[in-house]
Amino acid sequence: MTGVPIRNAEQAALAAQRLRAQLLSGEPARTVAGVTGHLLAVQAQDPRGARLAVRARTSGLLATDVDDALTADRSVVVSWLNRGTLHLVLAEDYWWLHQLTTSQLAAGNARRLAQEGVPPQDAERGVGVIERSLAADGPLTRAELRERIAAAGVRTQEQAIVHILVLATLRGLIVRGPMRGPEQAFVLARDWLSGPPAPLGREQALGLLARRYLAGHGPATDRDLAKWAGLPLGDARRGLSAIASGLADRDDGLASLAGRAGPAEVPAVPELRLLGAFDPLLLGWASRELFLAPGGPVIATNGLFRPFVLVQGRGTALWSYTGGKVVMQDLQPLTAPERAALAAETADVERFLAGTQRAQGTPRTPGKPRQRP
């Protein structure tokens, strides 16, 4: 028998429902956009981790399929959104999520620019360089933009360049779009995404946020939604109130969408899964304790989330990817079904990431941004 501690019945039911909502059990998604749209936003400051999040929730894709979705299809983009963190989102979701989740980040960005020695007038000049450069020559990588901003006399050392790029992002000017070899390039949002649609009213946007969040994370609480989105608790409650007629009747105080499978209909918790760094399973709720094994490895520390092995729905070991191979760390004895699942998962991760290695040998040419109307 595995050494993973047994949950009580309520914990087991909740874990199974959330794993199903996360597409880690039951029917997988078929495409990169399918995963991204279902989860609404996938944390993406670790590029490999974001790709592995897609792998764990699909079947048969390669890491290069994520590159294609970013580059050729333009179906997904990466930007600083929820909690001021980079997230992979559907292109069609970008504008309303940007409007809803970034306005409160401006003060923090101004403070960080000052700490990095970039006064407001220099920050403005840097944003102007970014906009003009991308309009004329985009897509451009961070290194290429850094060179042009520095040439305009704006400080770009250390983290200054990052916070200048964040400023341009918070203003809705730029997103991370196509891949150029192993790097993701910046583009003008209005060109790459064909311009912003009419903005949603705040109440409508909060309701949409609550509904889409619950689809990929329910059952959950108002505090879970607030933590995940980086919004005040009152906004989370307003969003849930806006969709109250579409919520299931529950006795446990948790919110879930009506018509979803009940506990008795939810697929069993998977035997074993390999999840990457910053996997959404550990970032979707106010507490991650439900999916961590008591006394298990330190998966999250100082804001970093390491790749981990999920055994019977709990993180019980760490793994890494070295020389094209998956390497296990401190894996406890497994049952025969768990060993079979580990072999299958290891082979699939190596197959999936091999696509990234091949792509880096032959950099793809990104598509040109759409012309402004």
141 plus 230 within the same structural domain: no
- pLDDT > 90 fraction of the chain, expressed in percent and rounded: 86
Residue 198 domain-assigned?
no
253: left (phi over 0), alpha (psi -120 to 50) or beta: left
pLDDT at 196 > cutoff 90 = no
109 plus 142 within the same structural domain: yes
pLDDT bin (cut points 50, 70, 90) of residue 259 is: confident
Structural domain that includes position 232? 206-212+220-263
Q: Give the chain's domain count.
A: 3
Task: Write the pLDDT tens digit of every residue in 264-292.
Answer: 678 889 999 999 999 999 999 999 999 99
224 plus 349 within the same structural domain: no
75 plus 185 within the same structural domain: yes
pTM: 0.93
Residue 3 domain-assigned?
no
183 plus 74 within the same structural domain: yes
87 touches 176 (CB < 8 A): no
Residue 153 domain-assigned?
yes
pLDDT value of residue 369: 56
Tokens of residue 199, six digits: 């903005």
The closest of 326, 324, 295, 299 to 310, measured between CA atoms, is 299
The CATH number of residue 254's host domain is 1.10.10
Residue 87 domain-assigned?
yes
Residue 319 domain-assigned?
yes
Residue 185 domain-assigned?
yes
Helix residue ranges per DSSP H, the chain? 9-21, 32-39, 47-55, 63-71, 91-101, 106-115, 120-137, 142-151, 160-170, 189-192, 202-217, 222-229, 233-242, 336-361
